[in-house]
Amino acid sequence: MIRQIGLVVAMSLISVHALADKPRLVLQITVDGMRADLLDRYSKNFGRGGFRYLLEEGAVFTNAHYLHANTETIVGHTTLATGTTPAVHGMVGNVWYHADSGELGYNIEDPDAPLLPTRDDVAAGAQVDPAQLKAGSKGRSPKGILVPGLADTLKISSPASGKAFGISGKDRSAVAMAGKVGTAYWFSTDTGDFQTSSYYSDAYPDWVREWNAAGHTAALADSDWQLTLAAEKYVLADRDNRPYEVDLKGFGKIFPHNYGPANHPLFNTRVLVSPAGDTLLADFGKTLIEAEGLGVDRATDYLSISFSGVDAVNHFFGPSSLENEDTVLRLDQTLAELFKYIDDKVGLEHTLIVFSADHGMAEMPEQASEQGYPAQRLYSDEIVEYAKEQAKALLGNEKVIKDYFRPYFYLDDKELAKLKIRREEAIDILAAALERKDGIGGAIPSARAAALGEMAVAHNHHPTRSGDIYVYPEPHWFMFDRGAIGVMHGSPWAYDTHVPLIFVGPGVRRGSHARLVHPIDVAPTTSALLGILPPAAAEGQVLTEAIAR
C-alpha cells in the first residue's frame, strides 16, 4: 500500500507536465536477450541514429536488474508490460504445468484461439524452440496473463482511445506486450509470414496480406548473412568458429552463413537466427505505422516491437561471438532507419521511446572453463535421473517425481500421500538432495521461498502454476536440454538479470543513473510520462530522474 501511495504522489507531481507534452506514439522496444554490457562493448562501431541516439538523448539507467529468478522471454516481457512480477502476473515460465490438462504446456497457448492462416498448403517448418514443442495446440492468446499491461491501461484510461499493437519474431513476446486489448502479430517459422490468431481478428487487414504476399522472407533464399564491416573492425574478430558453437543443421559456425533454399525446413528459422529477422520485423513495423495511421492525432497510440535476433543468435553462437557482435551492429542500423522513419511520419518530438530487454544471457560454459572457471553442462535428463534416484533412496518411491521442465520439479500428490511423512518434509528432503548435485546452485521449496529468504524464487512463485521445487544452476553452468542449443538464460545470476533501460522523448530528462532499479519500474514510469495511472497491479516505482520538471 505504501508503494502504491508513492506512485500516486509521483504521478501528481508530474501529471500536469506530462499531459502538456503528451506523446502521440509510445514505441516500446525490447531486445530479446540484450545483456546490458553489450551496449558498452560494441559502442565504438555504433552509428549516429540508433543505439547512440538512445544513449545520448535518453534517461539511461545502467543498473537495471530483474527481481524474479526465471529470466525467460515470456516472464520478462510480461513484467515489462505489467509492472509486476510473475508471482502476480502469472507468467512463471515459458512452460509450466497446466492443472486443467494435467500436462506441461506452453505459456500463451489457447486452443480456443486458432491461428489465422496466411496461406494454404504450407508444410510446417522444423521447430527448434524447446518451449514451443510443449504446446498442445497452435492457438495463441493472452488469456493466461492475469493482470492488465501498459497497452491495456493506455486504451482503457485515455479519453481518446488510441490503437495498440505488439509485434515480434516470437509469438510470446508480441502477445505479452499487446495485452488483452491490443493486437499482436508475430513471425511464423512455418511460412515466413507475420501472423495472428482468432483472438485478435477474424481476418487479416489488407496491409498485412499485401506485406506477406510480397515475399520479403523468401527473397532471402540462397543468400548469405555476411559481416556488415571489415572483419578487423570487430571487437570479437577472433571469435568465429569456436568448437562449442552450434551449427543449425547446415547454417554453419563461420561467416558467411547461407540461408539455403526457401523450401528447406529450417529456412525461416535461419532467418530468425540472424539479423535478417530483425530487419523484416522493422519493415513490418513501418508498414503497420503507415497503414494504421499511428501517431497522426492527439490520441496516444502504442507500438511494441520486440526484436528476437540477438537472443536467437546467442543461443546458438553465444553472447561473446562474432555473430552476436554483427547482430547487434546490424540492429543498430535497423533502429537508426526505424527512428528516421518515425521522425518523418510522426516526429521523434512526439514519440516516447522505451527501451529495455527481457533478460540477459550466460556465456558458453566452455568459455568460462577456458578461463579457469569450473563450469560445465548439466542436462535435463541427468537432473531427472538423479532426482528419481534420490527419491527412491530417500523416500522409497521414485514415482513422486511427476515431471520436470526447467526451472520446476512437479511432484505427484497421490504418490506423496502414500509416504509416512508430511508432504512438506518430503519436498525438503528432495530439495536438499538436489542441492548436493554438482551444477545445481539451488533447489528451493518454491511455496516457502520467501520464508527461506530466496526472494528471487518467491517473486517467481504463483500458487497454481509454479512447481514444488525450483532448481537453478551454479554460476556459469549450462542447465537445459541436451543438444537443443549452445547456451541458455533463465538463472537469477547477474548476467541474466542485468538489462539496459532507457527512456527517450517528450517529457524525458536526459542523464545517466547508476542506482539499482528494476524492470517493474518501466510501466509505472511510462504511465507517469503519459499522465495516466499505472497498470492495475503495478508494483514498481516511478523513476523520477527520467522526468523533466
**How buried is 381 (Cβ within 10 angstroms: 0-12 exposed, 13-18 middle, 19+ buried)?**
exposed
- Output the nine-digit C-alpha cell for 183: 493486437
Cα atoms in the 13 Å half-sphere on the side-chain side of 358: 38
Q: How far apart are CA 481 and CA 410, in angstroms?
A: 17
Residue 132: per-residue pLDDT: 80
Residue 121: per-residue pLDDT: 52
Residue 15: per-residue pLDDT: 47
- Looking at the DSSP assignment, which residues form a beta bridge with residue 498? 65
Residue 17: per-residue pLDDT: 44
Ranges in the chain, pLDDT < 50: 1-6, 8-18
Q: How far apart are CA 144 and CA 433, in angstroms?
A: 33
Residues 6+ apart with CB under 8 A from 212: 118, 119, 191, 193, 194, 204
The DSSP call for residue 222 is T
Query: Is 171 known to sit in a ligand binding site?
Result: yes
Query: Is 172 known to sit in a ligand binding site?
Result: yes
pLDDT digits (tens, 9 = 90+) for 23-74: 999 999 999 999 999 999 999 999 999 999 999 999 999 999 999 999 999 9
Residue 64: per-residue pLDDT: 99
- Output the nine-digit C-alpha cell for 223: 543468400
- Looking at the DSSP assignment, which residues form a beta bridge with residue 353? 27, 504
Query: Is 170 known to sit in a ligand binding site?
Result: yes
The 3-state DSSP composition of the chain as helix, strand, coil percent (nearest 5) reads 40, 15, 45
Is 73 among the residues known to form the active site?
yes
Give the chain's domains with CATH numbers: 2-367+492-546 (3.40.720.10), 377-474 (3.30.1360.150)
Q: Of the listed 30, 73, 183, 279, which one is catalytic?
A: 73
| Contact predicate 475/360, CB 8 Å | no
